[in-house]
A and B are shown apart, each in its own frame.
Chain A
Amino acid sequence: MSNKENNLPKKSILSAQIDLSKFTLATAEEKAQQDVMSESTTFFKDGMRRLFKNPLAVLSIILLSVIIITIIVAPMIVPYGYEEMLSIDGKRDKGAKNLAPFEYSQAEQEYIENGGERFPHILGTDEQCRDYFIRVIYGTRVSLVVGLFASIIVLIIGLIYGSISGYLGGKVDLIMMRIVDIIYALPDMLIIILLSVVLNEVLVFPSGTILAELGTNMISIFIVFGLLYWVSMARLIRGQILSIKENEYILAARSIGAKPGRIIKKHIIPNCLSVIIISVALQIPSAIFTESYLSFIGLGVKAPMPSLGSLANAARGGIMTYPYKLVFPAIMICLIVLSLNLLGDGLRDAFDPKLKR
């Protein structure tokens, strides 16, 4: 009977031939049950998922976002400029010197009593009658921007140099790496100080251009970073490329006919990326450290423009009477560096589990 329904000829009694009548087609619902595969994830998504499981990293992301939003929004709300000496109705307010936080000067007090509105000096004022809060905000801006741009410069130079050296290999690699060795052996901080001293004297930009606006000190910071700090990045990237190039999966990809473009895109870059992200994240705080150090010894950004280091240095003068002027920029540096360090560690754990300690 079964033979008839199947329309298949019966081969033999002992045949293991399937009796199709005993089977029914799977419904769509049943088919869906078979798909138990989890949603496919990309390298980036996977890393992010791990990053957001790390409470310290999340905390530092929140902290950094708060700082960044503050430095963007605060200058829009606070009606004072960072180099503006306080004045009332166009008249300079000479009494507004070294005010304590939330204190008004006498002239301001009178102005308010006469019905005027005056924005409070959240962190008081400095010895030149400038609002201190807005100076700390701008100082944070400057420090963060310097840290970020210096790291980007380091990344670009290191990436290009390192990948050329790593790809070409052989004699070129040898010579390029000897140069790196020599620069690496130089005591960076001393050379940076030396170059900053000289560049501050030598560099003169025509006024009105963006370069002049930034000030020679800032430019010289970028130059010295670009000249010296790229070496460790170049070493790192070269090492990465060299080791990835030798991996079996690259050989496997090549043997099944993958083109170089695909190998670079699918295998080398994703495997390099984690190391690059991590080292950039850790480079930023170290750049901020260096910038604040240089500003502190008087080689940082140009005078009216504040940076956290130069604010801390300026606060040293009146430390007996106005200790809070040191405390605010100091706390700001520590918070930024701390959260960037923690974020960098979190990124390392998330994107490169091999390195996890």
Chain B
Amino acid sequence: MSRYFVKRILLAIFTILIICAITFFTMHAVPGGPFNSEKALDPATVEALNARYGLNEPVYIQFINWMKGILQGDFGVSLKNGREITKIIGESFPISAKLGLMAMAIALSLGTVFGSIAALMRNKLPDRIIVFFSTLFTAVPSFVLATLLLLVFCIKLQWIPVWNANNPNYILPVIALAAYPMAYTTRLAKTSMLDALGQDYIRTARAKGVSRLKVIFKHALRNSLIPVITYAGPQIAYIITGSMVVETIFTVGGIGSKFITAINDRDYTMIMATTVFLATLMVIANLICDLLYKAVDPRIKFD
């Protein structure tokens, strides 16, 4: 078991390294340097600047220097506004993390509840309604939902104030972000609950005279949660990418909207830093989910 853990962790580290390399070298392929501005600088100045920032070195040395910086928590400065990127991430990430965690908690908990209800009341009205909405919401992209929510609740009905930094209102962004994963979790929870309910040990427990509620909560639900946990990893990835557009639409100053701004501004250092940061986050989240999954379900073989 510990061998598997070590192997999995090593793979994760290797993946992060690859991501860093891809990020660095693809960004390096973009023509033009940081000092190519509209005003032609005199060659000596460019030379001095290049020497100052180590841009004369061979590419691999630059890569190593960049990696060293990252390991020390230094992502360099933004090309657009010259601010330290580590600071920008430090300011914006907590907002995104709060948003993402809320969305995830809602998606997982409500998804499991709805899925279980649908499975327990199979082919009855609640099941039909839940299936209808979960199918519908898996077809609505987060940016469409976010814009529609903004339009209806902030602008037309004015029930919920538009986001501002002093008085943040998380309700709409969280709904927009949680809808798709929730719908997906619901479908997943329903199938796995149905699967669990059909097992022999459920019948045995019922035959022994265990109460219905106890059977559901103690025997069926616990077993049906395993596939839901497996989905948590991809869900984090979805929430991180989804939060980019949702934050942009609701003008939330999180790391996602900073990333989109950086893309539109072609702010390469910022793009590199955010990509590496978010990718590392996803890889670590996936790692934790994987290890958790194996720890929760003893039937899984370690290979």
Contact = CB atoms under 8 A, between A and B. Distances in A.
B147 A316 contact: yes
B151 A323 contact: yes
A330 B148 contact: yes
The B contact surface, by secondary structure, is: helix
A338 interface: yes
Interface centre among B23, B140, B266, B278 (most CB of A within 10 A): B140
Interface stretch (B46-54, B93-101, B279-287): B279-287
Interface string B245-268: 100110000000000100110100
B191 A190 contact: no
B153 to A, nearest CB: 13
B148 A186 contact: no
A341 B139 contact: yes
Contacts of A211: none
Given A194-B275, A292-B141, A186 B23 contact: no
A337 B144 contact: no
A147 B228 CA distance: 28
Given A181-B11, A194-B26, A338 B144 contact: no
Contacts of A181: 11
Contacts of A197: 30, 263, 266, 271
Contacts of A335: 139
A342 B155 CA distance: 33
Contact of A195 (B26, B147, B266, B286): B26
Interface stretch (A2-10, A121-129, A296-304): A296-304
Nearest to A299: B263
A319 B19 contact: no
B271 A194 contact: yes
A47 B37 CA distance: 62
Interface in B206-243: 237, 240-241
A326 interface: yes
A337 B278 contact: no
A327 B148 CA distance: 8
A333 B29 CA distance: 34
B136 A338 contact: yes
A189 B11 contact: no
A79 B245 CA distance: 35
B293 interface: no
A289 B144 CA distance: 11
Chain B residues touching A, range = 35 or more
Given A296-B143, A297-B244, A191 B263 contact: no
B273 to A, nearest CB: 12
A198 B147 contact: no
Interface in B176-218: 191, 194
A232 to B, nearest CB: 11
Interface centre among B143, B241, B264 (most CB of A within 10 A): B143
A200 B275 CA distance: 17
B14 interface: yes
Nearest to B22: A191
A276 interface: no
B14 A182 contact: yes
B138 interface: yes
B283 A293 contact: no
A186 B139 contact: no
A274 B191 CA distance: 21
Contacts of B23: 194
B235 to A, nearest CB: 13
A46 B30 CA distance: 53
A330 B144 contact: yes
B141 A297 contact: no
A193 B194 CA distance: 38
A98 B279 CA distance: 41
A285 B140 CA distance: 11
Contacts of A298: 263-264
Given A198-B30, A330-B144, A338-B135, A189 B241 contact: yes
Contacts of A13: none
Contacts of B249: 316
B129 interface: no
Contact of A190 (B27, B135, B141, B279): B279
B58 interface: no
Contacts of A313: 143
Nearest to A326: B147
Contact of B286 (A185, A293, A342): A185
A182 B16 CA distance: 10
A36 interface: no
B15 interface: yes
Contacts of A327: 148
Given A187-B237, A187-B278, A341-B135, A326 B140 contact: no
Contacts of A187: 19, 237, 240, 278-279, 282-283
Interface string A199-230: 00110000000000000000000000000000
A154 interface: no
11 contacts: A186-B15, A191-B279, A194-B22, A292-B143, A293-B141, A293-B241, A299-B263, A333-B141, A334-B141, A341-B135, A341-B139
Given A181-B11, A185-B15, A190-B241, 5 more contacts: A194-B23, A319-B147, A326-B144, A334-B139, A338-B135
Q: A-B pairs with the 6 shortest C-beta distances?
A: A338-B139, A189-B241, A337-B139, A330-B144, A187-B282, A185-B15
